[in-house]
Every structure is written in structure tokens, then in C-alpha cells.
Structure 1
């Protein structure tokens, strides 16, 4: 098999972690294309190299002496190089970085050097070819990602390459200036490399053994999801589950390339497989539970609104005019509710109310704040009777008042609105009824 393997910052924070990564890569001859992140935290209270680079560049922007901070960054890499007993010097690279920081070439350049330097170390450690992402990841002049050009550049550059290291997170504009993806963008680089070489598998190595069924800060030691579809992962990611960068999914999904999320510190764990579709029947009715706090609901009540053509469009037009997105729109015969991010809504509250009166002339408008949304996701829900009943029975037993119910037409998820104060209680109750009761 031909595999692309991406390693996160915690997996490459020290020489000891590099050794673990080396064993993982050498254990499978298919792992020939490696995408490294910048070194992460080595211990609690430590600073990520990317954050050190941002701080260093900000010092340069303010005309301060940044030599001490840059020296600390170099020390991080030199410690890894010494620990791996490599015959590699980054002196010239840091001389160039120092020069470019003095010239204030850009914050994106500064942030990208963490991955760039770690890529050089990784290539020397593995004896793989180093491919600078600036040569193969293309952005347009306005900073938008150029997928077509990138795929062409990557495919051509890697076509005759047996083994390569391509640092994550950054690329270049047509003028050669460095541009980065958003934080966590090394996942995106990995997926682009996998698509370009038509990989059989994309392995994403991090510090967790795959996707957990719910937030471990709420439920102690939740079960790991063995197999999840792209659609299920998208639903859970939207509701706060962030193991993979969202934009990393689409290049792989379009090519049908599976993702295996693995743990660098526990390589024996199978992790989670992310696939387009599967005949694999889930062990539990639900795949996962995600959620977020901080929503508000705006309920418009008007007699006979169901017979008024364009009512829903007019309501949503008010929110659009205020530059706001919406989350859900549950409705009844004479009521129409809009769930929005409370932080976004509060500055526009009175503007929205006035707009609704002008547009739809409601009988009443009711606002409610401090709400949370919980998504119960699972492909197994379609073929299982009584899923919703079990959810609401569990919530009632836990004394949780349900404010809203919304089920997608795909029957892949059920969204439940509760008060912020009931958020954790609700998640634990749902997890208990579908998982703990079946153990």
C-alpha cells in the first residue's frame, strides 16, 4: 500500500518523540510520504514552536531585539538534532530567518518556519527527500487556495519520488511569498499529498487513539469510535469534535481515500477509520455525541403564518441583512424559531427585532438566551426503532428540559436544544443510555 502519514506537533516535540515516529514509519514500508507539523509542547506549561515564532516576529515588528527568542527556538531544534545524533546544522537556515525577520517579510513566513525546519530534521532523520511546500502548495495573489495548480505541482513533483518529506501548514503565492493555512493546516497538506499521489491510505498521527464518542472532559474515558463515515465526522466536527481540520476531509473524500487516525504514543491501538461508506455495523446505535454552548433562539409567532408565501425567506433575510448565519430553524403551524450564535446576535438584537416587525409583522417575538445544542449522530439510527424515544426518556430521567428538537432528513443526526446549565448532564445521560447500559 502507498500511504501518506502526517504527524502532529505533540508527536514531534522532542528527540524521544521523533524516535517513536521513526519506528512507526519504518514498521510499514508503505509509509513513504511524511507530512510533519512544527514541534509542539513537550510538557505542561511548555510553548509550541509556532507560538514562539509568532512572538519572535512580533518583537521584530515592534523594533525590539528578538535575538534571544530566536536563539531559544534554535535551541529547541538543536536539542532534537543532538538527541537523534544527526549530522545536520541549521545555522544557515536561522541566519536567513534572522535576515527575513529584520526585513519584516510577513507573519505567515514566520509561522511557517516551524514546519519548514522540522521537515528538514525529519528528512535527515529518515534519509528521505525534502520537498519544500512552497514549491508545491499554491495560493493565488489574494491568498485563496489554488487546488487545481497545487494538485498539478504535487503530482508532477512527487511522481518520480520514492520517499519524501513535505512540511505541512504553508505554501506560496505566485510572487513566491509564503502563505499559510489556518492553524492546524498541516492536516490539509497531508490530504493534498495523499490525493496527488493517489494514496491508498492517509494516516493522521496525533496524541489520541482516534475519535472518542464524546468529550472526555464531560464523560470519563469515553469509548473510541472504530469506524466513522465522512458524513458522521462532518456532523460531529460541526458540533465541536476537532481531531481533524475540516478542510482536510474534502480532498480525501473526493478521491475515496480512507483516513486512519492513530496515536503516536500508542501505535498498537487501531485508532479510528474514516471512510466514505461501509457495511461495517456499528457496535452502538449512535456513533458519537457532540455539542456546543452559547446559542440564542428568536421565536416569531404569527397566526396563519403557514399560509403566508415567503414567510421563512423574509425572516431569514433579516438575519442575512445583519450579516448573521443561523444554526437551526424549527417551526410549528404559527411559530418559526431561529437559533443563532448568541455572541454574534447580541450586538444586533434590537436591529433584528425591528427588522422582523417590518418584514413579517409578527403577533409576538420571544427571545431566549444561554442555550446549548447537542448532536446525537449515527448511521445506525436509521434502522433502529425508538432511538428518539430513548434519548428523551434519558433526558427526562436526568431532569433535563428539552427546548428544541430537530432531526435531519438523512436520519443521521438528532439535534437537541437545552439550557447551558444542563449541557453536561444531558450528554452524560445520552451516553449512559446508549453505551454504558450496553457494556
Structure 2
């Protein structure tokens, strides 16, 4: 059995549904399908999930929401009319959307989750009705009815082990199983959504739960590329890569997968095939366990991510003081701040943070407490910090990897604030100024993939 996930751009309207139906019919192994909410149909269009968020906010603010209701209903009406489905199906969709403000929610976070999840729920329901009408025997996998259970954090849920036990009840049969992505049900029978990349997470969970042979993730690109196509035009595509390469690159900004999305598939060692909905005949990118992979290149990909800052601390003999780092971690814990990386020397320590969890006031308080507790000789924030990840299983086989990566940057006078290589030796992390991030990525890509291309 193959588990197939379609993103919102693949499910935007009736015409897009026609294409995914062709894909499902083309391979009899594609028995389980996970769907996102309808995405944008054209430039300037609004995703159904965004309309649902606006709807929820209007309800919370006691504002009129009639137009938003009608806009959401119209998106599903387009699909039901395209396939000439029975009017009772649109009536059920309409009732579901209109009843949302009158449901019981424990708090506003659960209300928002309950609204957002309807995009996937109603799309999966609609697809199941379309497939049944054209003669493909289908079961709508309503999360409440099948026991797709998640933790009780309304908008950042995690799958519970019970879900896998419940999915095992569905053997590999001729029936197609249609799952809504993005959410599950808490043990208190409330809807809770996953975080970013929620439908990818659902697809990965379903693949593990059904013991799939392959998890096919259909999107709007032909493959995963060695670098962001917005940074380098027509970059090299990646034919095969490992789970851990994907994880490292996702962390630094590869947009195909949110970095937590594929963990269930990784745990079950299920190959992941990223493919293009518009060109399903193309091979795409296969993501496999590292023990099944033989690298042919030194580098697989390079990515960058902005929006970081670093706290630099200097004090002589800090490496001799027992509990020095513990004191810093206790201060960060007090302010509910996690750190990304902590490279250190004998007298120096740098702590790298994601700026999304920091405010100017919080920075000031953290610095004050570190000064009071540790009395550093120097303590300063480095703002506008970017992280660059260079990733490749082949890096383990070369003693000159770091030299080859750094040389093109130093040749162009780009200042490197931090160099950090993990124990796996398949990834090297550099810290640079935000302003140098994209040029650094271009230079590294050019050095390893396209020596004839001029970098501007």
C-alpha cells in the first residue's frame, strides 16, 4: 500500500480534483489518501484555511461573518457542482460551516483549531463523495470515528500512540481510505491541530500506521532542489537523499517539509517520494534511510534561514567553572526561552536563538540576570543573524569539506561568526549576517554544483 498526500495547491478546485483522481487511478497501490484544504486557484486568491481563520477571528470579535461563510461555502460548491454531486452533500457542508460558531469550545485556542480544521475535513469528505460517485469504493476516515488521537494542546498537538493501534485495524484492501490532514481529536473529544506543515505530519503518521511501502507527497515542484530556486535560478534537483539530510535542510529553511513532519515515516523506515501533481510521471525526489544510500556527491544541498540572534559571552577560564552552563540554562528556563545552538571555546560561549521567542524586554532581563549570576567580562547580542546549513552524506568521506565550504566565502570577504559541525559529520552550520546569507548560499552552491555560473 502507498499513502499519498496532496497539498492545497493540488486541491484548489474541481479541475485540480480531476488531476489528483487521475493520479490515484494510475497506481492501484495508492490506497490511502491524505488531503489538505483547498489552496489558491490564482494569484491573489485566498486559501480556504485563511478564510476559516478570518471567520474564527470575526466570531471572536463579535463581527459580522456572513460574507466569510459564503466565501468558504462557494469554494466547496465549485467542486460539488463540477462533479454534479447530489445537493445533499453541499447542504451538509453548508450546515457544518454555519454551525461552527455555535459549537462548545473550552477556550479561544480550541475555537480557532476547530475552525481551521474544517478545510481539511470538508475536503476529505468531498473527495470521498466524488470517488464513490465515479465508482472507486472509498471510506471517509473521520478522525473522531477512527480514533485519530492527539495531545491536548489545541494548535500544537502531537499524535498519541493509540492512533497507531487504531490505524492497524485497517488492512490493505481494495477500499480507498481518505484522511483529512492537519488535525486529530483529543481524549476530551476536541479538535486539535498540528503546527506548521500539519497535513504533511498527518501523511507521515498514516504511512507509519498503515505500514505503507511508500509515502508519496505530491506538491507543486518537480523535485527537491539542492538550493532554493528563489536564490539560484534552475538549480540542480536531488534524485535521492537521506532522512537526516532532509531533516537538516528543513531546519534551515527548505520549504518542502516542516522539519518535524516526516518523523513518523522515519521511525517506520518508510521511503518518502516527493512528486509534482502536475507532472506525476517525473521521478521526483526519493528520501530513504541512510543505510540504503551511497552518496555520489560531496554536498547534497545548501540552505539558509534568517531571523536568528546570538548572545556572545566572554569570561576567562569559564571552562573551569563547574555549573557555568547550567546557570545560563536555568535563566533561559525561567523566561521560557529555548536555544538553537551553543558553540563554545575555553573562554567564550555563543548561544543562538530563534527571534520569534524573544522581545527587547526579554533580552534585557536575560542579560541582566546573566550579568548578575556569572559576571562575564563581555556580554553582547548579535542581531540580524542568519544560519546556513551545508548538508551531504558525502561530507563524511572528505577531509577537505570545511575548507572547500569556507573558501568561497572568505574569498568574497564574508564574515563568518560561527562554524559548527555535528557529530554525524553530514552537516556544517555557519553563522553570518542576515545581509550576507543569500550571497553565501549562492557562492557555496556555485563552488559545488555550478563552477561556470557567475554569482551576482
- Coarse TM-score class (shorter-chain normalised): over 0.9
Q: Does 1:40 align with 2:39?
A: yes
Structure 1 residue 379: deviation in Å? Answer: 0.7
2:131 to 122, 126, 144: 126
TM-score by length of 1: 0.92
For 1:59, the equivalent position in structure 2 comes to 58
User: 2:391, 2:427 within 8 Å by CA — same for their partners in 1?
Assistant: yes
2:232 counterpart SS class: coil
- Aligned with 1:176: secondary structure? coil
Q: How many Å separate the matches in 2 of 1:15 and 1:261?
A: 23
TM-score using structure 2 length: 0.89
Greater shift after overlay, 108-117 or 376-385?
A: 108-117
The one of 186, 208, 216 aligned to 1:173? 186
- In structure 2, the partner of 1:68 is 67
Equivalenced residues, count: 438
- 1:286 paired with 2:285, answer no
Task: Decide whether the 8 Å contact of 2:2 with 2:215 is kept in 1.
Answer: yes
Q: Which residue of 2 aligns with 1:434?
A: 448
After superposition, the C-alpha distances for 1:179-225 in whole angstroms (9 at most, x for unaligned) are 22224311122122212221101111111123221222211122222
8 Å CA contact 1:324, 1:345 repeated in 2? no
Query: After TM superposition, where is structure 1 displaced by more than 6 Å over at least 4 residues in a row?
Result: none
Q: Which stretch of structure 1 is more off in the superposition, 73-82 or 389-398?
A: 73-82
Could you tell me whether the CA contact under 8 Å between 2:304 and 2:438 is conserved in 1? no
Instruction: Tell me the alpha carbon deviations over residues 252-290 of structure 1, each in whole angstroms, 9 at most, x when there is no partner.
Output: 111111111111012122111111224443343111112
* CA–CA separation in structure 2 for the residues paired with 1:94 and 1:140: 29
* Residue range with higher mean Cα deviation, 90-99 or 310-319: 310-319
Task: Give the whole-Å Cα distance in 2 for the aligned partners of 1:28 and 1:161.
Answer: 12
Indicate which of 295, 306, 309 corresponds to 2:322.
309
What do you get for the CA RMSD once the two structures are aligned?
2.3
Offset, 1:42? 0.3
User: Would you say the 8 A contact 2:308–2:383 is kept in 1?
Assistant: yes
Bigger shift: residues 229-238 or 255-264: 229-238
SS at 2:309 equivalent: strand
Q: Structure 2: 5+ residue runs without aligned partners?
A: 106-110, 133-137
Question: In terms of mean alpha carbon deviation, does 90-99 or 232-241 score higher?
Answer: 90-99
Task: Summarize deviations over 1:368-410 as a string: whole Å, max 9, x none.
Answer: 3222111111111000231111111110222212121111121
Q: 1:317 to 1:101 in 2, by over 3 A?
A: closer
Structure 2 match to 1:184: 197
Distance 1:172 1:108 in 2: 11
Residue in structure 1 matched with residue 14 of structure 2 by the alignment? 15
The secondary structure found in structure 2 opposite 1:204 is: strand
What does residue 246 of structure 1 align with?
259
94 and 370 in structure 1: CA distance in 2 versus 1, 3 angstrom threshold: same
Indicate the residue corresponding to 2:150 in structure 1: 139
Against the structure 1 CA distance between its residues 417 and 60, is the aligned structure 2 distance closer, same or farther, given a 3 Å change threshold? closer
Q: 1:341 to 1:77 in 2, by over 3 A?
A: closer
> 1:157 deviation in Å?
4.6
8 Å CA contact 1:133, 1:168 repeated in 2: no
Matches of 1:93 and 1:33, distance apart in 2: 23
Distance 1:430 1:267, change over 3 A: same
What's the CA shift string for 1:284-328, capped at 9, x where partnerless? Answer: 311111222233333322223333333333343333333322222
Report the counterpart of residue 362 of structure 2 in structure 1: 348
In structure 1, stretches of 5+ residues that fail to align are none
Asked if 2 retains the 8 angstrom alpha-carbon contact of 1:4 and 1:203, the reply is yes
- Structure 2 vs 1, CA of residues 374 and 194 (structure 1 numbering), >3 Å: closer, same or farther? same
Aligned to 1:148: 161
Partner residue, 2:279: 266
More displaced 10-residue stretch of structure 1: 312-321 or 128-137: 312-321
* Contact persistence 1:135–1:171 (CA under 8 A): no
Q: C-alpha displacement at 1:329, in angstroms?
A: 2.2
Q: 1:368 to 1:101 in 2, by over 3 A?
A: closer
